[in-house]
Structure 1
Amino acid sequence: MRRDDSGQFGTKHTLSDEYREYFEDYSDWVATHVDKERTRERLEAGVRAWLRFCEDEELDPLAADENDVRIYIDELVREEYAETTITRRVASVSKFYIYQRNDPRNTAEIDNPTEDISLPRDYGIQNLSEYVRVLDQEGKTDIISPSAAEVSKLFEHAPGKRSFTYTMNELVLRLFWETALRADEMSRVKMRNVDSENREITVRSAKLNRKEHPDLYHRCVWWSPDLDFLMKRWRPLRRNTADDPEYLFVNSSGEQLTPSYLSRIVKEAARRAGIQEPLTRDENGDVKQHLWTAHRLRHARITYLANQTDMTSTTFG
Structure 2
Amino acid sequence: MYLGCQIMSEKNSEIKDGLELKTGSKLATEYLHSECGATISRNTAKTYQSYLRGYIEHLDEISVEVLSAKSQNVRSYLKKRARHGRREGTLRLDLTVIKGLYKWIRLETEKEALIDYLSLENIDIGRFRTPPTIEREPLNKDELEALYDELDTFRDRLMVTVGAELGPRNIDLRKIRVGDVDFEGRTISLSDSKARDRYSLPISDTLAVELKHWLTVYRPTYPFSEDHDYVFPSNQGGHLSDSRLLAIVKEAARNAGIQESLGESWMSERQKDALGTDADIREWKKVTVHALRHTFGHLMEEAGLSPEARRDALNHKSTETTEKYYSSNATEYKELIRELLHKERDNDDN
Q: With structure 2 as the length reference, what TM-score do the two structures score? A: 0.48
Q: Which has the higher contact order (CA 8 A, sep 6+)?
A: 1
Q: Which of 275, 295, 309 lines up with 2:258 in the alignment?
A: 275
Matched, 1:149 2:142: yes
What does residue range 102-141 of structure 1 map to in structure 2 within 5 Å? 125-127=93-95, 139-141=133-135
Change (3 A) 1:119 1:255: farther
Aligned residue pairs total: 202
Percent of aligned pairs with the same amino acid: 21
State the match for 1:304 in structure 2: 299
Q: Which of 215, 220, 234 lines up with 1:239 in the alignment?
A: 220
What does residue range 1-317 of structure 1 map to in structure 2 within 5 Å? 74-75=45-46, 77=48, 81=52, 84=55, 125-127=93-95, 139-142=133-136, 144-158=137-151, 160=152, 166-209=153-196, 217-235=197-215, 236-240=217-221, 241-242=223-224, 243=226, 245-282=228-265, 288-306=283-301, 308-312=302-306, 313-314=309-310, 315=312, 316-317=314-315
Q: Following the alignment from structure 1 to structure 2, what is the Cα–Cα distance between the partners of residues 218 and 124?
A: 30
Q: Following the alignment from structure 2 to structure 1, what is the Cα–Cα distance between the partners of residues 231 and 149?
A: 22
**Secondary structure of 2:283 counterpart:** strand
Conserved? CA contact 1:203–1:220, under 8 Å: yes
Gaps of 5+ in 1: 4-8, 14-48, 51-70, 88-117, 129-135, 161-165, 210-216
**CA offset at residue 291 of structure 1?**
0.8
State the match for 2:274 in structure 1: none
Which residue identity is paired with 1:237? Y
Q: Following the alignment from structure 1 to structure 2, what is the Cα–Cα distance between the partners of residues 191 and 288?
A: 35
**CA offset at residue 84 of structure 1?**
4.0
Q: Following the alignment from structure 2 to structure 1, what is the Cα–Cα distance between the partners of residues 155 and 256?
A: 18
RMSD over aligned Cα atoms: 3.9
Q: Following the alignment from structure 2 to structure 1, what is the Cα–Cα distance between the partners of residues 171 and 92?
A: 19
Change (3 A) 1:195 1:72: closer
Conserved? CA contact 2:249–2:289, under 8 Å: yes
Gaps of 5+ in 2: 1-7, 14-21, 24-41, 59-86, 97-129, 267-278, 316-350
Change (3 A) 1:119 1:181: farther
Which residue identity is paired with 1:269? A
Change (3 A) 1:138 1:299: farther
Which residue identity is paired with 2:177? K
Q: Following the alignment from structure 2 to structure 1, what is the Cα–Cα distance between the partners of residues 242 and 141?
A: 23
Which residue identity is paired with 2:93? I
